[in-house]
Amino acid sequence: MSRSLAFVLNVPETPQDPEDSQEPSPYDESEVHDSFHQLIQEQSRWVAEEGLELQQRVLGAGALGASGSDRQALLGPEGAPVYSTATLRILASMPSRTIGRSRGAIISQYYSRTVRLRRRAGWPQLRDVGRSARPSLRLYDLELDPVVLEEEEKRGLLVKELQGLTVAQRDHMLRGMPLSLAEKRCLREESRPPRGKRRVRGRHGLLSCCSRLRDSCILASHNLGLALLSGLQALMPWHYALKRIGGQFGSSVLSYFLFLKTLLAFNTLLLLPLLAFIVAVQAAFPPAPSGSTPAFRGLELLTGGGCFTHTVMYYGYYSNVTLNQPCASPLDGGQCTPAAGGLPYNMPLAYLFTVGVAFFITCITLVYSMSRSFGESYRVGSTSGVHAVTVFCSWDYKVTQKWASRLQHDNIRTQLKELLAEGQLWQRPRRACGRLQQGAVLGLVWLLCLGTTLVCALAVYTFSELVIQQSRVSAERDWALLALPLVVCLLNLGAPYLFRVLAVLERHDSPVLEVYVAICRNLILKVVILGILCYHWLGRRVGTLKDQCWEDFVGQELYRLMVMDFIFTLLDTLLGELVWRLISEKRSQRKGKPEFDIAGNVLELIYGQTLTWLGVLFSPLLPAMQIIKLLFLFYVKKTSLMANCQAPRRPWKASHMSTVFISLLCFPSFLGAAVFLCYAIWQVKPSSICGPFRTLDTMYEAGKVWVRQLEEAGPGVSWLPWIHRYLVESAFPIYLASALLLAVIYLNIQVVKGQRKVICLLKEQLSNEGEDKIFLINKLQRIYERKERSRCVGYLGEEENLSLLRKEKKEMKELCAGGKVELGVSHALSLLSATPVFLFLNIYLFYLFFGCVGS
């Protein structure tokens, strides 16, 4: 190693240092030129030697080739023109073809990657060590001449490069190499830096000590991470259940269960702060019991009323007093600032802040997961490539069952046939009459669907009015309370079936469109019904429940809806799918089970989650109920799926759909719930006999009162009122934030636009290069033919070879660059989906404005 160091010191540094980019400068070009020259010389010598015995055969074909060569040149891209052996040999040794095959090419490819990595990571002491292995430009372009350098030599270079990396980087590099494990172990063993020598070399003693310390730190953290990961894996619930589902039904059905798991995580995230800062504290300091609690009768499980009313379940139970404990009391870290040592636990404030913070955390997580999912599933510039993607990516390696794989064979076959038929369909336009007819049917079906939605909405509205009148006349009984949720659930259950029947009438061309249309209709129905219910609670009920705790009532109402929804889902799953299977089995003799309706089921989940988010303020334990419900649902759905259903026959883009699902969860569901809660907090007067805000005009007043108290308390925390006055109450910072966000979004859009343009240009360039390549290959072929005829080696062939290989090299670079740009764009695009935050902010602003005006 020291020897090579001494050697390298003589190498002039100037051509290397200024260029940090990966494109070779003109200087490099000449180097490359030389290397090619050498390569081509060797190549042609080799061909001349090896090709002797082949010449007889080729000569035989030459008679044919002479007439065929012109045809080949014209034949161009389509078809597979027949080239002579010599040409084929050259083609086979082109870098683009060797990477996928030979070990040497892989090694040299990863060698150049390592070099690039090391150049980028510029720790000074590493650079000093690395100079010994610093590549000359000739080596840098090593990937281009796999024939010249022996594999061993390349290996040596790779090992040297690997030595220059840190331990973690080296392991990372090795892990990603497509080599066999034995090979990797060898490389690792060899590239272990000779520590003793380095230490002797003296002046970097301290530095190398540091780097070793850092190395061992990295190693330790790496090991810790691995241990944690494996621990997590052991804890991962449902691993085998999910594996079985994936093995039998493929990724599409699996996406439903994964979505369910995601919802479970969201609810846990929501529940934990509520449990810690509200429920546990209140349970530790229970208020004085108000009267006798009614006995448990069983019906309360459905209605959520009765003996549940005065428990931590509901808003009304929480006290509006300051729990007079010093800061040392448990679980109040959130509100205990060090400046005010003995600050007591202010229950209303805790209630408001905890709900707000929990919602905010959910919002951030939701937006983050949405943006990630967007980044994964949408790539800029990815045009159609259905056939290739279908063939290359559609086999699901998770499938283990034999019958499942047979099903997959069938699905892929139908999908391919449909694709081919579709291609033919596009070619012949449909008749105007048929199009008109289809348009009419489409309009009619949409009209019917919207009409149904309207009728459902009217039914819910009139029924809710009826319930209010009934409750005025007579005291409410438990059974009467269940009527409204029952009606809502019945409509929610029945209407989608009607939509499905109607959807049979309109025959959509693409199955994806069919799914989106179904989702759209169901979504409209659910949004409208929930909107009317919200109006019913906040607009009408608040007025009629003057002497009662309306928050409790709303909480109970949501609880009832949720329980009913659960029961109906169970019934639908157990009876609906079972009956459906029995009917379909009886009617058609061949074995036909109903398909698992992924979209419908996911919408059910989203609906249930919306109910939970709506009710969090009024019933802090509602997420816990939702968690229990989801757990049950998982097992029920799984059992029913195994027994009654089969995987959907239609092609299903799982990742696109999960992106759509998570966006739906974010946009109408979460945002709607947030608007509802904001309205309740800023605008509605809380009931005066119960709950933490019973003396205030609005819930938001609790914050204001607290700030006022702080102002009076003294100058110690004067920054808090200041923040409140200038940042929360004045609208300016929100305008500023909105403007900033808008600017960022605008910039991102522009960046995406620019990158799209670059991608287009690169594509055009690539296709030009491809044409050039064909042209050159044909030229080459003709030259070989001429050569065979004259049996002498001409210099012209070399020139052609040279330019051919240069083209090839350029093309490789372009392809790499294209890939990189595409990746970058997807990242940029993912930022765009920060829009919901922006919307959220605007809504916040809107209500703040209202609040200011109101007060």
Partner 1 sequence: MGGSGSRLSKELLVEYQDLTFLTKQEILLAHRWFCELLPQEHRSVEESLQARVSLEQILSLPELKRLIALHRAAVKIAMQSAWPSACNTANPFKERICRVFSTSPTRDSLSFEDFLDLLSVFSDTATPDIKSHYAFRIFDFDDDGTLNREDLSQLVNCLTGEGEDTRLSASEMKQLIDNILEESDIDRDGTINLSEFQHVISRSPDFASSFKIVL
Span 396-415, contacts to partner 1 by CB under 8 A: 396-402, 404-406, 409-410, 412-413
Interacting span for partner 1 (CB under 8 A) from 183-191, 463-471, 542-550, 708-716:
183-191
Q: Does 74 sit near partner 1 (CB under 8 A)? A: no
The residue from 30, 41, 324, 382 that contacts partner 1 (CB under 8 A) is 382
What are phi and psi for residue 180, nearest 5 degrees? -75, 160
Q: Which residue matches tokens 């707000």?
A: 356
Q: What residues between 319 and 348 interact with partner 1 by CB under 8 A?
A: none
> Would you count residue 171 as binding partner 1 (CB under 8 A)?
yes
387 binds partner 1 (CB under 8 A): yes
Q: How far is the CB of 242 from partner 1 (least distance, A)?
A: 8
Shortest Å, Cβ 670 to partner 1: 24
Choose between 733 and 819: whose C-beta lies nearer to partner 1.
Answer: 819
The position carrying tokens 């599409």 is: 252
Residue 443 CA to residue 451 CA, distance in Å, equals 12
CA–CA gap between residue 851 and residue 698 (Å, rounded) = 9
Which residue in the set 695, 709, 767, 855 belongs to the binding site for partner 1 (CB under 8 A)? 767
- Which of 182, 235, 501, 792 is in the footprint of partner 1 by CB under 8 A? 182
Q: How far is the CB of 319 from partner 1 (least distance, A)?
A: 48
Smallest separation, CB 367 to partner 1 (Å): 19
Q: Which is nearer to partner 1, 243 or 507 (CB)?
A: 243
- Contact between 240 and partner 1 by CB under 8 A: the answer reads yes
Report the nearest approach of partner 1 to the CB of residue 602 (Å).
17
Considering only the C-alpha atoms of the chain, give the largest distance between any 2 of them, rounded to a whole number of Å.
Answer: 114
- Contact stretch for partner 1 (CB under 8 A) within 11-19, 45-53, 181-189, 479-487: 181-189
Among 184, 201, 540, 694, binds partner 1 (CB under 8 A): 184
Q: Among 52, 63, 235, 388, indicate the residue that binds partner 1 (CB under 8 A).
A: 388
Of these, 6, 393, 504, 792, which contacts partner 1 (CB under 8 A)? 393
Mention every residue, 6+ apart, whose C-beta is less than 8 A from residue 460: 484, 487, 488, 491, 529, 532, 533
- Give the H or E element holding residue 793: none
Tell me, residue by residue from 249 to 268, as one string, x for binding to partner 1 by CB under 8 A and - for no binding.
--x-----------------
Q: Is 757 in the site for partner 1 (CB under 8 A)?
A: no
Contact by Cβ (8 Å): 755, 824: yes
Stretch that binds partner 1, among 126-134, 588-596, 771-779, 783-791 (CB under 8 A): 771-779
- The helix/strand/coil state of 474 is coil
Separation between Cα atoms, residue 230 and residue 630, nearest integer Å: 26
Indicate the residue type of 274.
L
Minimum gap (Å) between residue 771 Cβ and partner 1: 7
Per CB under 8 A, the list member of 74, 181, 288, 792 interacting with partner 1 is 181
Q: Where are the alpha helices (DSSP H) in 645-718?
A: 654-664, 671-682, 701-713
> Which tokens is 32 given?
């490359």
Give the shortest CB-161-to-partner 1 separation in angstroms. Answer: 17
Q: How far is the CB of 262 from partner 1 (least distance, A)?
A: 15
Q: Is residue 428 at the binding interface for partner 1, with CB under 8 A as the rule?
A: no
Least distance CB 845 / partner 1 (angstroms) = 35
Residues numbered 507-546 forming contacts with partner 1, rule: CB under 8 A: none
User: Which CB sits closer to partner 1, 251 or 319?
Assistant: 251
Rg of the chain taking only CA atoms, in angstroms? 35
Asked if 362 contacts 273 with a C-beta cutoff of 8 angstroms, the reply is no
Tokens of 463: 């029924």
In the complex, the smallest distance separating the C-beta of residue 180 from partner 1, rounded to whole angstroms, is 5
Comparison of 332 and 808: residue with beta carbon closer to partner 1 = 808
Compute the distance between CA of residue 421 and CA of residue 123 in angstroms, rounded to an integer: 58
Distance in angstroms (rounded) separating the CA atoms of residues 269 and 546: 35
> H or E stretch including 323?
strand 322-323
Residue-wise over 496-516: b if at least 16 C-beta within 10 A, else e? beebeebbeebeeeeeeebbe
Q: Could you say which of 128, 151, 215, 376 contacts partner 1 (CB under 8 A)?
A: 376
**At closest approach, how far in Å is the CB of 78 from partner 1?**
8
Q: How many residues bind partner 1 (CB under 8 A)?
A: 98
Could you tell me the smallest distance in angstroms from the CB atom of residue 774 to partner 1? 6
> 36 and 48 in contact (C-beta within 8 Å)?
no
Q: Residue 100 interacts with partner 1 (CB under 8 A)?
A: yes
Number of neighbouring beta carbons within 10 Å of residue 781:
25
Distance CA 94, CA 145 (A): 9
- Tell me: does residue 174 bind partner 1 (CB under 8 A): yes
**Residue 414 beta carbon to partner 1: minimum distance, rounded to whole angstroms:** 9
Cα-Cα-Cα-Cα dihedral sign, residues 793, 799, 802, 804: negative
Note every long-range contact of 795-799, with CB atoms under 8 Å and residues 24 or more positions apart, other chains counting: 797/44, 798/37, 798/40, 798/41, 798/44
Among 71, 185, 197, 827, binds partner 1 (CB under 8 A): 185
β-pair partners for 346? 322
The tokens for 245 are: 């589902």
Angstrom distances, CA of residue 843 to CA of 183, 224, 675, 734: 59, 44, 7, 11
The Cα–Cα gap between 535 and 663 comes to: 25
d(CA 298, CA 561): 17
With CB under 8 A as the contact rule, the residue among 22, 55, 85, 102 that binds partner 1 is: 102
Candidates 465, 474, 615, 624; CA nearest to 551 is: 615
- In the complex, the smallest distance separating the C-beta of residue 413 from partner 1, rounded to whole angstroms, is 4
**Position 483 contacts partner 1 (CB under 8 A):** no
Counting other chains too, the contacts that 293-301 makes at CB distance below 8 Å and 24 or more residues apart are 299/478, 299/479, 301/563
CB of 773 to partner 1, least distance (A): 6
Closest distance to partner 1 from the beta carbon of 21 (Å): 20
237 contacts partner 1 (rule: CB under 8 A): no
Kindly tell me which residue out of 10, 21, 233, 474 binds partner 1, with binding defined by CB under 8 A.
Answer: 233
CA distance 394 to 86: 37
Site for partner 1 in 209-228 (CB under 8 A): 222-223, 226-227
Q: x/- contact string, 642-661, with partner 1 (CB under 8 A)?
A: -----------xxxx-----
Place of tokens 């006055």: 725
- Smallest distance from the beta carbon of 101 to partner 1, in angstroms? 3
Which residues from 781-800 bind partner 1, rule CB under 8 A? none
Q: Which is nearer to partner 1, 102 or 125 (CB)?
A: 102
| Contact with partner 1 (CB under 8 A) among 201, 244, 704, 756 | 244
DSSP letters spanning 811-851: HHHHHHHHHHHHHHHHHHHHHHTTHHHHHHHHHHHHHHHHH
Where helices occur in 51-140 by DSSP H, the ranges are 52-75, 85-92, 95-98, 103-120, 124-130, 137-140
Residues in 798-827 that interact with partner 1 by CB under 8 A:
811-812, 815-816, 818-819, 822-823
Contact region for partner 1 (CB under 8 A) — 180-188, 312-320, 454-462, 565-573?
180-188
Cβ neighbours for 561, distance < 8 A, ≥ 6 positions apart: 485, 488, 489, 533, 611
Q: Which of 57, 101, 192, 708 binds partner 1 (CB under 8 A)?
A: 101
Which residues within the stretch 11-50 sit at the binding site for partner 1 (CB under 8 A)? none
**Residue 9 sits in the site that holds partner 1 (CB under 8 A):** no
- 646, β-bridge pairs: 595
Minimum distance from residue 11 beta carbon to partner 1 (Å): 32
Handedness of CA 520, 517, 489, 536 (dihedral sign): positive
Toward partner 1, which CB reaches closer, 304 or 381?
A: 381
